[in-house]
Amino acid sequence: MTETISPGPKKTPAQNFSRFFLNLFSRFHISPVQITFAFSIIIGIVAALGAYVFSYLIHLVETLCQVENVSESFSIGPWLIILPALGGILAGPLIYLFAREAKGHGVPEVMAAVIKNGGRIRPVVAVVKSIASALTIGTGGSAGSEGPIVQIGAGFGSTLGQIFRMPPRRINTFVACGAAGGIAAIFNAPFGGIMFSLEVILGEFRGLSFIYVAIASVVSALVSRALTGDHTIFAIEKMRSILSMSSSWEIIAFLGLGAFIAFVSKGFNFTLELFEDLYDKIKFPEYLKPATGGLAVGLMAYYATRIIPAQGLNNPLSVLGVGYHTIRQVLNPDNYINWTNANGIAMLVIALAMLAVYKIIATSFTLGSGGSGGIFAPTLFTGAMAGGLYGIVLQNIFPGHTAHPAVYALVGMGACFAGAAHAPITAIFILFEMSDSYEIILPIMAAVVVSTLVAHWINPESVYTAKLLQKGIEITKKDKSNILQSMVIKDVMIREVQTIPETMTMEELRKRVGTTLHTSLPVVNQNNDLVGIVTYKEIHLGIEDPTPDNELLARDFMLADPVTAYPDEPVDQVFKRMKSGAIGIAPIIKSEKVRKVVGIVTYSNIFEAYEKALLN
């Protein structure tokens, strides 16, 4: 009987490609910093191209579905109702069959990959997310484009890191670069992209991380501007003359706006979580649930045109899609001329309140049912409506002593996102880039900070972290003590494994025990399935056994229930099991059902990877 040596999985073309370039980098003494710098540029370029393609897909679906005709004519009743449901019918099976991670708003899934999986995101997720989100948003689903583009950009960054076998900490940096590039391209907001990635995705502001993320964000913004022009989503030229406070004392009003919007944003979070929980409990085919959410949104859009009193705001696009059409109306001071008398003001206040509530419910139906899209645009919409309402009420209480209601609507947008996501720095920078006006920065900062503080007081979990906690993923500060949480076993395991058959005799084993550097060896049966492990302790006990060496088999003295692990398990969990088992080695098996040995991991492998991660 001879010793079995498993060479590990066959090298894929991607692995051979990465090995070639890694050897090339080593030959020309290219440092990790230089490599990461170059990859940040590549990720920024690809993120911009991804944002461009994604935007084109949305526009293509909207054109095919005649969304503009729906917005201009209220007579297309049946088509308006079933349009979002059609998107759900197409997107649901796509998500269900190919990438469940593409369900919902996407950012929590990216955060989960960073926290628990070393930044690893399956490449198929980016493809499915872009198509499913384009179908959802393009057919009128109430969702935004920031979640999908974050997942698309992050997915490419992760794939690049995996191809070149980068350590988990660097893959996380690539994920953040992709997310920053996506935000910068889709919103023409490079500073906002940087802060979103550092504040939300990574949760830290390390020097090198900032540099790499900034490079990707700036490059992505430049490429995006070359492709689509230098423009912002919300053209606010008509607001230039009103972007200021009436006096320094008005800052108190903006502090009050922040507190008010905090409750609105938490109402948004609560409703979305409620709908997600309800849909999870409903016994209905998973792939058809998005269609039911789309049908509900279509009905809401249809009846909104007949219920909302203010003319111009009772457009189907006020409920359907991202809602930018309605936000632009509320931000345009010229539109307020139509609502100057008492009756007009009352109708406007009712309309803004109804639109805020409608958008929250429509978004909850869309994403809670399993549709694909982001929450950034819906929170901006909700904040604009609530902020405009607050400004109108304040203006009528203190006529001539407050800024224009459109200014409150603009500031309310940032405050609502900050309250929902607990990301004040991101909200300040994105809103500042949208307004491009320093005069409004103080009201923005005041409202955003108060909104974040009050929202955190109401509920310490954001719209992103609450979803992670539901999945059992604990959000912890990402410091050096948690590096092992971001690694997975396949990063540190030894792939070339020496195994012994369970029928090997003690005599044969003693002859071969010196040919391996390991103190323990996995034992396999005739099907090459793991059945146990032999350590020096078992060999010593076997020597003391009175049974002759040529009759004593490995299965007679092996440890039959060793600590095992799977390639995609977090290292920290396996490390804890290894310590509890008091054995410094664990065989790695393919899966729970397939017990083929694909590697082994030892304490020294883990310690070496940990030290390497600290240096990166």
The mean-pLDDT minimum among 362-366, 404-408, 489-493 falls in 489-493
> Whole-angstrom Cα distance, residue 93 to residue 74?
30
Last residue of a domain, one of 470, 499, 523: 470
Are 226 and 242 found together in one domain? no
**d(Cα 431, Cα 358) in Å, to the nearest integer?**
23
Distances (CA, A) of 211 to 169, 188, 199, 501: 15, 19, 14, 52
Q: What is the pLDDT of residue 347?
A: 83
Question: Is residue 25 pLDDT above 80, yes or no?
Answer: no
Least-confidence region, from 91-95, 384-388, 411-415, 528-532: 528-532
What share of the chain in percent tops pLDDT 70? 80
> How close are the terminal C-alpha atoms of the chain, in Å?
45
Q: Residue 53: pLDDT above 70?
A: yes
Global confidence as pTM: 0.78
**278 shares its domain with 357:** yes
Residue 107's H or E segment, with its range, is: helix 107-116
Q: Is residue 6 part of a domain?
A: no
Name the pLDDT band for 489 (thresholds 50, 70, 90).
Answer: confident
Nearest to 504 by CA among 513, 514, 517: 513
Taking a C-beta distance cutoff of 8 angstroms, is the pair 408, 451 a contact? no
Cα separation of 91 and 89, whole Å?
6
Do 84 and 181 have their domain in common? yes
Distance CA 409, CA 281 (A): 37
Q: Is 70 exceeded by the pLDDT of residue 71?
A: no
pLDDT at 328: 84
pLDDT value of position 73: 47
**Helix 32-64 and helix 123-138, axial crossing angle in degrees, nearest 10:** 30
Residues 503 and 387 in one domain: no
Task: Let me know whether 221 and 287 are in one domain.
Answer: no
Contact between residue 177 and residue 163 where contact means Cβ atoms under 8 Å apart:
no
Q: Which two tokens stand for residue 200?
A: 């939300």
**Residues above pLDDT 90, as percent of the chain:** 22
Domain membership of residue 78 (yes or no) is yes
Residue 291 scores a pLDDT above 70: yes
- pLDDT(390) > 90: yes
CATH number at residue 197: 1.10.3080.10
pLDDT by residue (tens digit) across 541-575?
Answer: 555 555 555 667 877 777 888 888 888 887 877 88
Whether residues 393 and 356 share a domain: the answer is yes
Whether residue 607 lies inside any domain: the answer is: yes
* Domain boundary pick from 233, 257, 282: 233
Q: Is position 8 within any domain?
A: no
| Domain finish residue from 441, 470, 499 | 470
Residue 485 CA to residue 165 CA, distance in Å, equals 18
Domain containing residue 67: 13-233
Tally of CB atoms within 10 A around 517:
7
Beta-carbon contacts of 16 under 8 Å, excluding residues fewer than 6 positions away, are: none
Cβ atoms within 10 Å of 396's Cβ, excluding its own: 13
Any idea which of 89-103, 135-149, 468-482 has the lowest mean pLDDT? 468-482
Lowest mean pLDDT among 1-10, 288-297, 373-382, 601-610: 1-10
Calculate mean pLDDT across residues 132-151: 88
Are the C-beta atoms of residues 384 and 233 closer than 8 Å to each other?
A: no
Phi/psi of residue 20, each to 5°? -60, -45
Contact (CB, 8 A) for 602 and 587: no
Looking at the structure, tell me whether residues 162 and 256 fall in a common domain. Answer: no
Residue 268 to residue 258: CA distance in whole angstroms: 15
597-602 and 585-589 as β-strands: parallel, antiparallel, unpaired?
antiparallel
Closest by Cα among 131, 54, 138, 151 to 91: 131
pLDDT in tens, 224-267: 999 887 777 776 666 666 777 777 888 899 999 999 999 999 99
- The mean predicted confidence, pLDDT, of the chain is 81
Q: Strand, coil or helix: what is 533? A: strand
Q: Are 422 and 516 contained in the same domain?
A: no
* One domain, residues 62 and 118: yes
Length of the chain: 616
Tokens describing residue 507? 């005599």
pLDDT at 575: 80
Contact criterion met (CB below 8 Å) for 122 and 99:
yes
Tally of domains in the chain: 3
- CB contact at 8 A, 104 and 293: no
Query: Where does the pLDDT of residue 416 fall: very low under 50, low under 70, confident under 90, or very high at 90 and above?
Result: very high
**In-domain check, residue 3:** no
Query: C-alpha angle with apex 541: 535 to 545, nearest 5 degrees?
Result: 140
Q: d(Cα 200, Cα 179) in Å, to the nearest integer?
A: 10
Q: Indicate the range of 80-89, 97-106, 340-349, 519-528 predicted with least confidence.
A: 340-349
- Strands 597-602 and 4-6 come out as unpaired
Cα angle, residue 329 at apex, residues 244 and 390 outer, rounded to 5°: 55
Domain assignment present for residue 516? The answer is yes
Instruction: Count CA atoms closer than 13 A to 540's CA, side-chain side.
Output: 5
Q: Are residues 224 and 373 in the same domain?
A: no
300: which residues sit within 8 A by CB, 6+ positions away? 319, 358, 361, 362, 365
> What backbone torsions phi and psi does residue 548 show, to the nearest 5 degrees?
-55, 145
Q: State whether 568 and 581 are in the same domain.
A: yes
Q: Residue 457, Cβ neighbours under 10 Å: how many?
A: 11
Distance of CA 328 to the CA centre of its chain: 27
Sign of torsion over alpha carbons 23, 29, 31, 36: negative
The Cα–Cα gap between 300 and 302 comes to 5
pLDDT tens digits along 91-122: 989 988 988 888 887 888 888 888 877 788 88
| CATH number assigned to the domain comprising residue 526 | 3.10.580.10
State mean pLDDT over 131-144.
Answer: 89
Q: Do the domain assignments include residue 478?
A: no
Is residue 7 assigned to a domain? no
Left if phi > 0, otherwise alpha if psi is -120 to 50, otherwise beta: which for 118? left
- Residues 552, 429: one domain? no
